[in-house]
Amino acid sequence: MSRVGKKPVAVPAGVTANVDGQQVRIKGAKGELSFVVPEAVLVKLENGEIKVDPRDQSKDARAKWGLSRSMVNNLIEGVSKGFEKKLEINGVGYRAAVAGKVLKLSLGYSHDVDYEIPAGITIVTPKPTEIVVSGIDKQKVGQTAAEIREFRGPEPYKGKGVKYADEFIFRKEGKKK
């Protein structure tokens, strides 16, 4: 039994939910998102709550039950509060700046890295060594942050590179004479 799937998703004030067959549409203050629930799962809107249930007790239905509930919850959280990921840049001369729809990164290469900001994502650089990626779609925010981190991931010897703000980098000791 899915412990996540059992709990219904409450629709807060200011958010409108619409369930049309397998299509779930959520509209809120920050925007509108939709999700197509897999056929193995039944979704219904009752008393201001979205309830997700498996159609039968097959392995496939039970596997997609908790996933579907989490996806619907992420839609509601996204249109009401939004999501954000913070990244830190460590290293001498490493910095970031936003110029229009492009994030310019100086990461110790012979050239600057230009990252085109995807639609629906907002990137801000409060400090040259700090990047804040935000948006209403949790998957897009996480994917964008991962792509930026990938340009120069943190290395274990000096800790240089781009890392998540809450990430711990296990430091290694260098060579000994």
What is 83-164's CATH number? 3.90.930.12
Pairing assessment for the beta strands 130-135 and 49-54 based on DSSP bridges: unpaired
Fold of 3-80: Outer Surface Protein A; domain 3 (3.90.930)
Task: Please answer whether residues 81 and 17 qualify as being in contact, where contact means their C-beta atoms are separated by less than 8 angstroms.
Answer: no
Regions of the chain where pLDDT drops below 50: none
pLDDT score recorded for residue 1:
61
Task: Please answer whether residues 14 and 28 qualify as being in contact, where contact means their C-beta atoms are separated by less than 8 angstroms.
Answer: yes
Looking at residue 149, the DSSP 8-state letter turns out to be H
pLDDT score recorded for residue 5:
82
CATH 3.90.930.12 residue window(s) in the chain: 3-80, 83-164
pLDDT score recorded for residue 152:
94
